[in-house]
Amino acid sequence: MPSILSQYEQAFLKDRELAQKANSIFPDGITSDGRYTEPFPIYISHSQGGKKWGINGKEFIDYWGGNGALLLGHNPPEIVEAVTAQVQQGTHYSACHPLEIQWAELIQSLIPSAEKVRFTNSGTEANLLAIRLARAYTGKHKVLRFFGHYHGWQDSVILGADGAIEPGIPQSVLDATILCPPNDIEAVEKCLHTDPDIACVILEPTGACSGVIPTNGEFLSQLREITQEYGVVLIFDEIITGFRISPGGAQTYYQVIPDLTTLAKIVAGGLPGGAVVGKKEILNLISRKEQEKQGRTTKVSHLGTFSANPLSAAAGIAMLKIVKTGKPQAQVNQLAQELRRGLNAIIDEHRLDWVVYGEFSCIKFLIGHGIPGLKTADFNPYQWDYRQLSSRGNPQLRQNLRWGLLLNGVDISLSSVTMAAHSTADIQQTMAAFAQTVDWMKADGLI
């Protein structure tokens, strides 16, 4: 039987052809680093519900979920209807419009920290603005962030997860970024105590990459206390967790209220969009009127051609109305739990040193942790080396797993989510695809 790789190359010939063309146009043939795939990526023609279809008609159960933006699934009717109606009304007025108010009011009704709201075009932009606001508010310069936590690709936060220097980032920006180990309140306290120039602490409130290196509520409470003590702005990056882990995000679930919250993905109903929400006195640094009242002649700048554009507003409103019910969150959590359990049963049955873990609707894979005989139920990510969690295990095994799953009709990444459109049948089919791939990997002598 041919190897998994040669099966992949044979099954996706048309994709390979497109990839060759793309390679001559785009660096690495791709348009976002997250889509890098060896030896070439698959190309999608359309999607619906919990599935998407490749250019050769092959069906995939999709666990990328629009990188976390599609809580409900692909093309939910309420959002399709809202966007279709809006596209006929206009896509860009270069003016204020009523939908932006309705959209922001829905956010305020859900997110406790949202005293004021400012829309952006993406999560990266939201964090860029939040950090600028924190600097302006405190008069300090540095950003304290945590190993592995992702906050978009802007200069202040794109430092490699391990703090490795990225080309193209000025030394002055590197000097203004402090990287702490995750979940280590003593390390944070030491930094805040010794460095009076720290403007903000930013983190993903359920941990790096929405829980690859998980964080718990206790750490969030400790951070809240310590940042208040040192006069440092606490930013929750709820770009993934917002509306997903509860209608009011991680801050509602853990009852810890940050000064600023950044949102994107679900907030815009699966279309491009984001927001910074938070304390009135911080957001008001953008307000010309408020700054004039304080006798100031300058303000924090924020512009954006597509900020609060009517299409994203229409999609966001439709999404948040459904989010508010709490139903999709319960569904995705249940589906993810079933999937994690099912996959772990297969891992235990084959005595692999792999584990599938995660909380809420998140599915994280660690493929090759190096402890033979460890049952998946005994795996506790809080007791694990965070650098190993971040590596996600053995690259060769990970790659073969991905090819095998795609060949078996499942598109899942090592950090995936369930969508409300998934069915129990999808979960069963995913388990069968996983078991088949494990058999192939054994046949290939990989495990």
Task: Give SS3 for 421.
Answer: coil
327 assigned to active site: no
Helix 4-11 and helix 424-443: axis angle, to 10°?
A: 120
Candidate list 203, 239, 405, 406; residue touching ligand PLP; CB under 6 A: 239
**How far lies 74's CA from each of 49, 71, 109, 420, in Å?**
5, 9, 25, 10
Quick one: which of 141, 130, 133 has its CA closest to 238?
Answer: 130
Q: Which residue is nearest to ligand PLP (CB)?
A: 123
Cβ distance to ligand PLP smaller for residue 210 or 400:
210
278 binds ligand PLP (CB under 6 A): no
List the catalytic residue out of 142, 265, 279, 364.
265
385 assigned to active site: no
265 assigned to active site: yes
CA atoms within 13 A on the CB side of 287: 15
376 binds ligand PLP (CB under 6 A): no
* Sole window of 5-13, 86-94, 147-155, 304-312 interacting with ligand PLP (rule: CB under 6 A): 147-155
* Sole window of 121-129, 132-140, 228-236, 402-410 interacting with ligand PLP (rule: CB under 6 A): 121-129
What is the β-pairing status of strands 260-264 and 142-146?
unpaired
Candidate list 62, 100, 237, 359; residue touching ligand PLP; CB under 6 A: 237
Q: How far is the CB of 387 from ligand PLP (least distance, A)?
A: 19
Sign of CA dihedral 101, 105, 106, 110: positive
Cβ distance to ligand PLP smaller for residue 219 or 403:
219
Contacts of 104 by beta carbon, 8 Å cutoff, 6+ apart: 117, 119, 275
Cβ distance to ligand PLP smaller for residue 273 or 381:
273
67 binds ligand PLP (CB under 6 A): yes
| Both tokens assigned to 97 | 């419009």
Contacts of 439 by beta carbon, 8 Å cutoff, 6+ apart: none
64 binds ligand PLP (CB under 6 A): no
Candidate list 128, 161, 264, 405; residue touching ligand PLP; CB under 6 A: 264
Q: Which residue has the tokens 């860029």?
A: 128
**How far lies 198's CA from each of 46, 150, 204, in Å?**
46, 19, 18
Candidate list 123, 249, 270, 368; residue touching ligand PLP; CB under 6 A: 123
Active-site annotation, residues: 150, 237, 265
Which positions lie near ligand PLP, rule CB under 6 A?
Answer: 67, 122-124, 127, 150-152, 204, 237, 239-240, 264, 274
